[in-house]
Every structure is written in C-alpha cells, then in structure tokens.
A and B are shown apart, each in its own frame.
Chain A
Amino acid sequence: MVDPKLLNFDTLSVHAGQHPDTDHGARAVPIYQTTSYVFRDVDHAAGLFNLERQGHIYSRISNPTVAALEERLAALEGGVGAIATSSGMSALFLAIATLMSAGDHIVSSSALYGGANNLLATTLPRFGITTTFVNPRDTDGFRAAIRPETRLVYGETLGNPGLEIMDVEAVSAVAHESGVPLMLDNTFATPVLFRPFEWGVDLSYHSITKFIGGHGVAIGGALVDSGRFDWTASGKFPTLTEPYPSYHGLRFAEEFGTQAFLIRARVEGLRDFGAPLAPQNAFYILQGTETLGIRMQRHVANTRAIVEYLSGREEVSWISYPELPDHPDHDRAARLMPDGCGAIFAFGIKGGRQAGRKFIKKLKIFSHLANVGDAKSLVIHPASTTHATMSSEQLEKAGIGEDLIRLSIGLEDPDDLIDDLSSALRASRK
C-alpha cells in the first residue's frame, strides 16, 4: 500500500506555519512588531479589504507572527485553521459572538473553569444569550436541555477542577441531531493527549497561556475549527449563511465553505470586538509549541508519580484523577486519552479549609497562584479563588468542596515534588 508522506506531530509542533524569513533567513519566527502593512498598490489594497486577496492589513485582524502560531495550532489539533486571541476567554467569547445573537441559547457542561462559568451564567444573559448547565456525565441531560434556539453544546475535555470526562462521541451525536456544533475547551489535555476532532467535536478552543505556552509568561487563547460542521445544512446560523451587509452581501458558508466560521470570526470578530494576540506573546507561545510533545510526556509522568504517592497518604481523603480505577470516568479516560489525562488533578485534604491553608502555606516548590499548565508546579484552593464567584449551590453542582486542593504538576524532578508535598501534608495535621 502506498504511504502518504504527511508530517508527524512533533515535526509540525516545531515547524508548521513557518518558513525561514526570505529577507534575512531568520530561522526562528520573527516578531513582526508592527501595527500595519504597506499595500503593494491601490488595487492590492482594495483586494485585501474585499477578501479577494489575502494578507495582512492591520494587526488587530492578523499579524505574521500570530499567523504562524495559528497555523501551527491548527496543524496540531487537526483543524482547517485557527484564530489566536488575547486570552482563552476572548477565544470563547469570539466563538459565541460569531455563532449567536440575542435570544440564542447554549447547553453547557456544569464542570467549567470559573471564568467560563461566569461568562455563560452571569454576563451573557445581559446580552440575551442564556445557558442551561448539565452534568457532563449526563448525555441524556444534554439532549433534554437542547431547545429550538440552542446554537452550541459546550464543555471541557477534562472538567475543571474535577476532571469529569463527557462521553464525547455521544454528546457530539446529540448536538448534531439538533443541528448544532459541539465545542470543547481542550486546554487541559492539549492535542498531545486528546485530538477532539477525531471524536466528533466541531470546534475547540484553548487557553494557550497554559500547557501550549508552557512557561507561564504570556496570556493567550486560540479557537480552532475542524471544518466539519455543515452550517448551511443546519440552517440555524444566519451569521454564516445569510448575506452580510459589511461585505456586499457576502454569504460566508457559500463562499468559504469549510473555512466560513474562521473567516467570519476574523473579519468581523477581531475587527469589531478586538482582542487579538500580541505578536510578542505569540512568539513566547511559539517557543512552547516546539517542546509541547516532550513536555506533556514529562508532565504526565510526574503526575502519575505524585498521584501514586498521594494515594498512600493518610492526610488525603480522596483523589480525583481519571487514571485511578475509582474515578467515575476511568474507562472513558482510558479510551479517549490513553497517553494520559493531563497534569492537573484535585484531592481532598482531611481537616477541610484549615488543613488546606496550612498545607498550601508550607509548600516550598509548589507555587500558590491562579494558573495551571506551567513548567513550575502550582497549587490552589478553588473555592476561595478561581471559583469564588460561584454560589454554594453552583459549587456543589460543579463538584467543588471546601477541602478540594488542585495541583498542576510541573516539570521538576518528581522526587523533589514529593518531598515538598510530604512536608506540607505533615504540616496540615498540626
């Protein structure tokens, strides 16, 4: 059998989206620190503005450094393209604003990052977009929550912070039965551990601040389109199928086909709402993509070692990591993410809130802060920080107890991390 010679993941993670600079031969992706780009001539300028020619006009809409990162992320995720944004939250908002208008509705997993929960539950209703939250393990619940005005089914690959894993294929089928796409936040898994488009997901987005950037130095987000969802056949997305006055009545789905969503998101979303990724930040995150594969392997190996260690400690009342046999989604995790379930997990500390405070205070290598997915190991108490705006009822619905400690395991030597945890656990008893 003939063999297609397509480049593999680790090669794409280093090279995709970039050719050596033609003027100077720069091997690294240059930082195009420029707001704007000189047109070749008047006709070229007109062509760019009318979407007949492609290229860069103004860095709010696109930038060569950012574009290299976008292509690379699309290549790694297996999509048709990507848009990088100033944060993961802006990527989520860009997706929603591109697909929806006032009166539309979202069905979302209830196990979400606190910021995403806040956008859906509190902020978007002010603009007429409402959300029904569903336990991510309840596939029938997704079906029951879908209404005629539903335009998106949404969740996280690994729920935050309980690492709930939905039955992705089944939820995808439920969404598609109703003519709406499924979008997942794939931040915690990265395309190294989970390739959403191979399981029926239509759109994915990332906080590339986390593992993809990998070093905690730059905030960014990315929205990736599989190119598989048929907006025209659905008939529910007038922003993509009806004439758009801003471009002489352009119908994005008819003209751009598989790229319709991304083109509209860029030429309307970035143009009108802003929030592009800065080229300097794109450069930092590009450095992260080059080592993504090997870093995720190490993140997972360290996490497995620490989960095993904590499993034997009497101060720990429970651990939620999908590779453990007692995790409710253990079998699903083995099927969807055989190479590992990421490097973020939660555990319960005996003694509740007070023990948790002592534990965090004693840690030396783990940093207490509001982030995950860094080369450095991190720790946080979600009930008092990332999810602090949620009510007790919402916290309970999201599976977040006051004893819950979330760890993000970094790339340090696992023995040193275990020593650090050991002394902090001892301190938590005092």
Chain B
Amino acid sequence: MTELLVRGARVSASCGGREPDPSLPLLVFVHGAALDRTCWQLQSRYFAFRGFSVVAVDLPGHGRSEGPLCASVEEYADWLAELVEAAGYHQAHLVGHSMGALITLEAAARHPGRISSLTLCGGAAAIPVHPGLLSAAQNGDDIAYRLMASWGHSRRSHLGGHPTPGLWMMGGSIRLWERTPPGVLASDLAACDRYRRGREAARQVGCPTLLISGSQDIMTPNRSANPLRNGIKTLAEVTIEDAGHIMIVEQPDRVIDALDGFLTGL
C-alpha cells in the first residue's frame, strides 16, 4: 500500500504487496466505475513480483482516496498524468478497465510522452449508459448495483465458478459497489455517458496498445471497439471466451496471461 499526493489530496494505491522500486518500470492499474484498486488484486500482485513497480490506484473519491471526484473522463485523464509524476516517474504503462479504459485511452492521447503502453480491458470509444441505470444511480437506488452485476458478468459467471476457491463473484461485485460513497456511481456513469472523444483519442494514441475483451460483454460489445481498431496505430487484441465486461474479476488468470504476453513483447 502506498499513498501519493495529487492536487493536494491523498491518493491511496495498492503496490501488489511489494514496495515500488524506482529502478523498475511503472505499471498503473485504473479501475472502472464505482470500483476500487482491489478489483486488480491478482494482476497487481503478479506484476509487482515480475519486474514492475505497481500502482493499482483508487481514483479520487473512490476506495480510500480523498476526493473530490473528477467530473469527466478528460479530467480523470489529466489527473492520471499527474499521478504518474507524483509517483516519481516520467512514463508509465497504463492498464484500464471500463471507465478506467476510457480514462487511460484519453490519457494516452493527451499525454503521449508519459505513456509507454496502453491496455484497455473492456475498452470502447464510448460507453453510453442505459437511462434506467443512470436514473437508478442518480436516485441512489441499490437496484443500480444489481443491474451492474447482471449486465457486467457473463451468463456463465452468474453461476460462479471463480478461480479463487470459495469466492462468489456476483456477491463480491455488488458488495464493492455498495461500499462506494453515495453519488460516486452516478457521477462515474454520467462521466462515461458524456464521453465523446474516444474516436479522436484513438487516432492520437501513439503507444503500443492491447485490447482485452470478453466474448460475452454486453456493456462494451465487440462493435463498440471498432473506432479503436480503426484509429489506434499499433493495436493487439485478445478475446477471453465466456467472460463478460468484468473480465478482470471473472477470469483474472486469462487477463494476466494476455497482459504478460503483451508487456513481455514490448
């Protein structure tokens, strides 16, 4: 665990169980809407013990990081660039999931000198949010968490079968969203819904990029990544069978394998 200071606010991040080593390249994990660093618990540990300084960050106002929340994906992207600097680095490899994928995509476009590589899990050029979900989140109705769980996991994952023995991932995901302070989910979903720069950002990305998709993702279905395929100059793709939008939790090993192969080949 480490704490950084960005814009005068305390930022909490997991280091994957090993203190960052400035001599190693920095790998930053960015979570999705109303989640926190713990959704990267396996990936962060794996890479922390394999040649990277890992920062799995709690975005401002999420997890144990102080607020305020950022109002837009663009604002989070600028904040992320400042986080890399606050960690004592000029460059970082970025890995983002869902809203975190939008943030890292935008960061790679806006701050090309700071980004060594980009991995987008459940990435898309835009993530329009169902009005019913937006409304439930804005009203603080906990049906929003169940909608996210229902749509975020593949049908297979609805029955469980998690690789971590004994963990019930549907319950785990809902509990993570429940723990988020009021207003965070609504703010994050609104930020996703408003984001329109994905197509343009993709064209501006100059670093090697990996897109990891779930074959059963209905929140960012395959076609939603077409602007990324058309825009990003160096894009590799891995599709994880039977995974939904939350593939980083549903099939963490497959995500590790894909990311390991990508980072090793750079």
Contacts and interface: CB of A to CB of B under 8 A. Distances in A.
A binds B: yes
A74 B38 contact: no
B264 to A, nearest CB: 12
Interface string B131-174: 01100100000010011011100001011111111111011100
B160 A71 contact: yes
B125 to A, nearest CB: 24
B163 A226 contact: no
B166 A74 contact: yes
Interface in A47-63: 47, 50-56, 61-63
Interface stretch (B40-48, B186-194, B207-215): B40-48
Contacts of B37: 257
Contacts of B196: none
Contacts of A75: 160, 168, 170-171
Contacts of B172: 80-81, 227, 258-259
A247 B17 contact: yes
B64 A19 contact: no
A258 B38 contact: yes
Interface in A7-61: 7, 15-19, 47, 50-56, 61
A67 interface: yes
A248 interface: yes
Contact of B160 (A18, A52, A53): A18
B253 interface: yes
Contact of A1 (B38, B132, B253): B132
Contacts of A249: 17
A82 to B, nearest CB: 5
A158 to B, nearest CB: 24
A83 B156 CA distance: 22
Nearest to B166: A70
A230 B252 CA distance: 24
B144 to A, nearest CB: 9
Contact of A257 (B41, B46, B133): B41
Contacts of B36: 257
A5 interface: yes
Nearest to A7: B158
Interface string B22-59: 00000000000000111001101110010000000000
Nearest to B175: A227
Contact of A250 (B17, B170, B179): B17
Contacts of A258: 38, 172, 175-176, 179
A74 B147 contact: no
A256 B41 contact: yes
A54 B159 contact: no
A57 to B, nearest CB: 10
B42 A248 contact: no
B143 A83 contact: no
A16 B160 contact: yes
A7 to B, nearest CB: 6
A4 B147 contact: yes
Contacts of B160: 16-18, 71-72, 75
Contact of A6 (B64, B149, B175): B149
Best-surrounded residue of B132, B156, B167, B256 (most CB of chain A within 10 A): B167
Given A18-B161, A71-B161, A80-B171, A266 B166 contact: yes
Contacts, number: 154
Best-surrounded residue of A16, A61, A81, A228 (most CB of chain B within 10 A): A81
A255 B41 contact: yes
Interface residues of B, number: 47
B18 interface: yes
B42 A53 contact: yes
Contacts of B167: 71, 74, 80-81, 259, 262
B1 interface: yes
B130 interface: yes
Nearest to B1: A254
B175 A52 contact: no
B216 interface: no
Best-surrounded residue of A7, A47, A83, A257 (most CB of chain B within 10 A): A257
A414 B130 CA distance: 52
Given A19-B161, A248-B17, A54 B168 contact: no
Nearest to A15: B159
A18 B162 CA distance: 9
A168 interface: no
A52 B46 contact: yes
A200 interface: no
Interface string B1-30: 100000000000010111000000000000
Interface in A255-286: 255-259, 262-263, 266
A225 to B, nearest CB: 9
A62 B46 contact: no
A266 B167 CA distance: 11
B66 to A, nearest CB: 15
Contacts of A50: 17, 45, 49
A78 interface: yes
Contact of A256 (B38, B156, B161, B162): B38
Contact of B162 (A4, A71, A251, A266): A71
A422 interface: no
Contacts of B159: 7, 15-19
Given A19-B159, A248-B17, A79 B171 contact: yes
Closest 7 CB pairs of A and B: A257-B38, A62-B165, A2-B132, A74-B168, A70-B166, A4-B146, A52-B46
14 contacts: A1-B132, A4-B143, A4-B149, A4-B151, A52-B256, A53-B46, A53-B163, A55-B253, A71-B160, A72-B160, A75-B168, A79-B171, A228-B178, A257-B36
Given A2-B132, A2-B133, A74-B167, 10 more contacts: A4-B150, A6-B158, A19-B159, A80-B168, A80-B172, A228-B175, A248-B17, A250-B17, A255-B17, A257-B176
